[in-house]
Every structure is written in C-alpha cells, then in structure tokens.
Chain A
Amino acid sequence: MEEALPAWSLPAGAVDGISLPTEWPERVTREWAFGGADGAGVRVCVLDSGITAGHPLVDVERAVKVTVDGNEARVEKDDQGDLSGHGTACTGIVRSLAPACSLTSVRVLGGSKGSGAALIEGLRWAIDEGFAVVNMSLSTTRRQFAPSLHELADRAYFRRTMLVASAHNMPVASFPWRFSSVISVGSHEHDDPFAYYYNPRPPVEFFAHGVDVEAPWLGGGTLRVTGNSFATPHVTAICALILSKHRELTPFQLKSVLFLTARNVATA
C-alpha cells in the first residue's frame, strides 16, 4: 500500500500510475456499496471501556488494555474486562451489523485519572496496527489533548484508518469528533439500524440509529440504550461492510460513499 515515493506532484507520464482500481458506477447505490456484505476481511477496533468476557453477542478476536505510567504506555492483554457496560454495548452493535468483521477491543477507560493519555496512546496503537475502522464513542474536553488527537486523526486519515467518533450535544468543546478527518455521528429517532442521514450543517456529519437501541450489556443480556455513543458503532459497522466489498477505498472515498448512500441523499 505504501508509495515508493511521496506523490507531491504529478508529472505528465505518471497519470497512468494513479488510475483507480474501482469501477465506479454511474450512480452509487446502497446495493453497490454494501449489498450482501458481512464485513469479512475488515479489521475493526473499538476504543472504549473493554468488553465483558463470554457474552454470546460480543465475540472479539482480541481484547487489550492501555495503561500509561509517566511517559511509558503499555498495551497488554485485558483480563479485567468492562466495568461499565458501554464498551460491551458498542462492540456488540458493530458485531450485530457486520457479523464477519474482525473485532479488537481496546480498553482505554477505567477511572477518571489518566484517561486522556490512555485514549491518545490507544489511538496511536490502533493506527500503528493498521485497523481499517476505529470506533470512538467517547471524547475528551481537555484542550491539552486536542493537538495530539488532531495529529493522530490526520495520520489515520492518510493511512487509510477511518476514525468514527461520537458527537455530543452539550455546550462545551470536545474532541476528536470535531476534527474533519474523522466521521462524526449523532443520533436520529428512527428504529432502523441501517438508516443514516448526512447533515449538511456540520460539525456533526452523519446521524444514525441511537435511540432505543437493543444492545448487549454486562450480565449476558441486552438493554435498550440511547445516546450518540450507540449511533456511532452503527456507522462503524456500515463502514466495515462497505470496505469488505471495496477494500481499496480511502477515508475520503469511504465518507463520500456514506454521503451518496445516506437516506436523505440517495432517495432525494
């Protein structure tokens, strides 16, 4: 995937070298985008509170946790698991829509101290690992973390890692959902997990199923949950479905496909 040389310019003889492998249809439809797709071959990462072990609706390939001690960050197997239920729910929602994708849970939350640093280190790790999609149903309001998160979001964008982040509806600035290199997600009230809308008035770019969502929780059962946190993994899963049919899409192209197939665009 890496270019031999950075493409800073395009000499006349090099045009053939950037021909696109995808045959784009005259009209991009949902059928073309992800019809029949199950997410197979796409690696998805969920940065959250971890997962509860053994839940029948939440099987993952790998579960790790990030700890930060001073300047040293460690990523190791997570034996403790989810203490809040949130990570279990978000991971389970991705699994329910993209049954064949490969899922990795990264626990970056577990207490109010050091959570911003763990979030950054978890994201850095996920980008280095080359996941195709990273779900972030969380944000930080600490401005000191914004520059690092911004830099990582841009790095992900150019390395073909799509970050999907929850917007929030409170009157404070928070990150990373406000960055244009991520897909930011809010909620709509319709009861359709595959319905999503493009918002022509950003910073929130898409709305997805986030009200009364049935999601796995800590004790092995399911709850009905509401919040942008739960709309976000719907978009993450749909990105995984699209990429399992169209592996070569860049984040820019992937976002464009989401736009073209959004309910208020495709049926307009």
Chain B
Amino acid sequence: MSAEELRAAIAAAVLGAEEGFAALLGSVVEVARAIFGARAATIFLLDEETDELVFEAIAGEGAELVGRRLPSNTGLAGFVLVSRQPLVLEEIQNDPRFASDVAESTGYMPQGLMAVPLLYDERALGVLEVLDRPQNSSFSLSELELLALFANQAAIALDLLQRARRARAALDGEGELAAVSRLAAAAESAPREVGLPALEALADLLERVAGTE
C-alpha cells in the first residue's frame, strides 16, 4: 500500500467514525425526546479553545440551530456544565426576561426544560437539554435518573466524536502526524533511487522514535 493510499485509508476510517458518532448523538436526542414526550432535545458540545457551547445535535423544535455557538459563561447550559449539576426548570414564562434569553438558545420560547451535564471521566464535555416535557404531569426524581442515564450515553458518544475530530485534524493539519504523512507521500513520488532510501530512512527514524518512547 502506498503512503497516499495509507493516508486515504486512515482518513476514510476517521471520517466514517466521525459520521457514525454524530449519528449516534442524533439518535440519543431523538430517543430522549420520544421517551419524555418532549418538544425538543438538544446536545451542546463545549469547544474548549473558544470557551463556547456548540449546538451539536437537535431533535424536534429548533433543528436549524445545529452548528450555532453560545458563550459558555452565560445562560443555563453554561451553568450546568460548570457546576456539574443537573437541573429542571418549569414555568419559565413567569420570568419574561429569562424566558427570552432561553429562547435565544432554543429557537423558541419553552415553558420548561431539563438540563444535565455530559460528564466523561473527569471532564465536562457538554450539556443535554430536554425541552417541554408534558406540563400536566408533576416532575419526579425517576425522570431525572432516566435523564442521567441518557446523559451518560451521550457523553460516551461525544467523547468518541471529539477523538475522531482530533484524529482528522492531526491528519489534515500542521501537526507531526500530518508532516510524516506528507513526507512519505513526497518520498514516494520522487525518482526511485532517491525516494526508496528516503522512505527507508523515514521508516528507520519512526522505529527509533517509537522505540525510545
């Protein structure tokens, strides 16, 4: 297999994984919405570099918000993320200024919401929100337990998605893995008498580096 083929194969695997994990997140919000009989369910991902929350997956109302960003230091989702505490709020419309802030982050004015942090190991990766479960039933702690179970599943998917994205960035970017992959491609396209020793030297170097770790 040529270096270019190898790189293409890794990229395809990473890309496929990324799509798969994104689909899993989509499925988690769909199921959360269905189980709670809610109007919408959303997963926010924390972008640590910009300190923003990104709409990663949405089922139901507000689906057009996917990809939008919010600062992590305002609003309820940001608080849930930082405090690690799940919360349920109802009768949001009784507090109009807050309700309009919430509408900013949901695309419409919900009456109630449940929010739970997505925790994986010791990191908080994001937040799962379920909007407008039926108001006629009074809230029970077993619902919060159920939401926590979903959150655990979503956190695992989110962790895998982040790993896949980092792997792709390493292949595409300016990092060492990308440099090695470009170097291998360049050596291979060079005339055989130059390229072959160059490739062997590269393989030897990689082996020695790996051996010293």
- Residue numbers of A with Cβ under 8 A of B are 49, 83-86, 109-113, 115, 137-143, 166, 168-174, 187, 189, 211-212, 217-229
A112-B73, A172-B122, A219-B98 known; A229+B87 contact, CB < 8 A:
yes
Chain B interface (Cβ < 8 Å from any Cβ of A): 46, 48, 51, 71-76, 78-79, 81-92, 94-99, 101, 116-117, 119-124, 138-141, 144-145, 148, 151-152
Contact of A109 with B92 at beta-carbon distance under 8 Å, contacts A84-B76, A141-B124 already known: no
Contact status of A168 and B51, CB under 8 A, knowing A109-B79, A110-B73: no
A212 to B86: give the CA distance in the assembly, Å. 14
Chain B residues with CB under 8 A of A49: 79, 83
A172-B117 Cα distance, complex, nearest whole Å: 11
B140→A211 contact, CB < 8 A? yes
In the complex, the answer to whether A218 meets B97 with C-beta atoms within 8 Å is: yes
**Would you list 20 pairs from A and B whose C-beta atoms are within 8 A, ordered by A residue?**
A83-B78, A83-B79, A84-B79, A85-B98, A86-B85, A109-B79, A111-B78, A112-B72, A137-B83, A137-B85, A141-B123, A142-B122, A169-B148, A170-B151, A217-B98, A221-B96, A223-B95, A223-B98, A224-B90, A225-B90
Cβ-defined contact, A227 with B86, below 8 A: yes
A112-B82, A170-B151, A227-B85 known; A83+B75 contact, CB < 8 A: yes
Q: How far is the CB of A228 from chain B (nearest CB, A)?
A: 7
Task: Report yes or no: A84 in contact with B78, Cβ–Cβ below 8 A.
Answer: yes
Q: Are A111 and B84 in contact (CB under 8 A)?
A: no
Lowest 3 A-B CB distances belong to which pairs? A111-B73, A84-B79, A219-B97
CB distance from B158 to the nearest CB of A (A): 14
CA distance A140 to B83 in the complex (A): 7
**For B86, what are the chain A residues with a Cβ–Cβ distance below 8 Å?**
168-170, 227
Distance in Å: Cβ of A144 to nearest Cβ of chain B: 8
B138 touching A212, Cβ below 8 Å: yes
CB of B46 within 8 A of CB of A112, answer yes
Complex-state Cα separation, A217 to B113, whole angstroms: 14
Q: What CA separation (Å) do A103 and B78 show in the bound complex?
A: 25
Of the candidates A113, A139, A142, the one whose C-beta lies within 8 Å of that of B85 is A139
Residue in contact with A217 in the complex, picked from B95, B120, B123, CB distance below 8 Å: B95
Report B-chain residues with C-beta under 8 Å of the C-beta of A139. Answer: 83-85
Are the C-beta atoms of B83 and A229 separated by less than 8 Å?
yes
Is there an interface contact between A141 and B82, defined as CB atoms closer than 8 Å? no
Nearest-neighbour CB distance to chain B for A161, whole angstroms, equals 21
**How far does the alpha carbon of A201 sit from the alpha carbon of B79 in the complex, in Å?**
29
Residues from chain B with Cβ under 8 Å of A140 in the complex = 84
**A112 nearest CB neighbor, chain B only:** B72
Residues of A within 8 Å of B144, CB to CB, are 169, 226-227
* A84 near B95: Cβ-Cβ < 8 Å: no
